[in-house]
Structure 1
Amino acid sequence: MEQNVHNMNNLFAQLGKPSNDSDIARFLATHGPLANEVPLHEAPFWTPSQAEFLRDAVCEDSDWAEVVDELNAGLHARQ
């Protein structure tokens, strides 16, 4: 059975956000860095449904978990 492979562009589209590379870079620059104590899904810029999706992706170790972890790292990175 082949596992779905998602990338950052797919994740942003799934979240209902603009999903081209420049829009993603702008989102990361605008919303990061998050404080280390703020979990990704608790960041104030997500809608409740987006936050739930992000939390569930990691908690349930779904096929989205790896790219959600990548988003988490990108938003917590210190530039």
Structure 2
Amino acid sequence: MNTVTPRMTHLFQQLGLDSSQLAIEEFIKNHQLDAQTYITDASFWNEAQCAFIKEKISADDNWATIVDQLNESLHEDSVKL
């Protein structure tokens, strides 16, 4: 049984991306989505990354929470007033 609570660094590792704090911040900064684009529809994911994200969202577990946090972060610019 896996008792590790996933974190953003774990998500980035699972997506095959650099998981350093700076790299995560840069990724989020450089991949902002408009308000109408959901995380799974983002053009920057490859097929495997998109499938992983969809799987974790549908599992509705601790991973879904982390994916949701990433989704919110990727939409920060679209909700600024």
Normalising by structure 1, we get a TM-score of 0.89
Counterpart amino acid of residue 26 in structure 2: R
Match of 2:34 in 1: 35
CA distance in 1 between counterparts of 2:59 and 2:9 reads: 21
Q: Which has the higher helix share?
A: 2
Give runs of ≥4 in structure 1 deviating > 3 Å.
1-4
Counterpart amino acid of residue 65 in structure 2: E
Q: Identity over the aligned pairs, expressed in percent?
A: 33
Match of 2:26 in 1: 26
Cα offsets for 1:48-75 (capped at 9, x unmatched): 1100111111122133111000000000
CA distance in 2 between counterparts of 1:52 and 1:2 reads: 21
Number of residues paired by the alignment?
78
RMSD of aligned alpha carbons: 1.6
Return 5+ residue gaps in structure 2 as ranges: none
Return 5+ residue gaps in structure 1 as ranges: none
CA distance in 2 between counterparts of 1:38 and 1:4 reads: 30
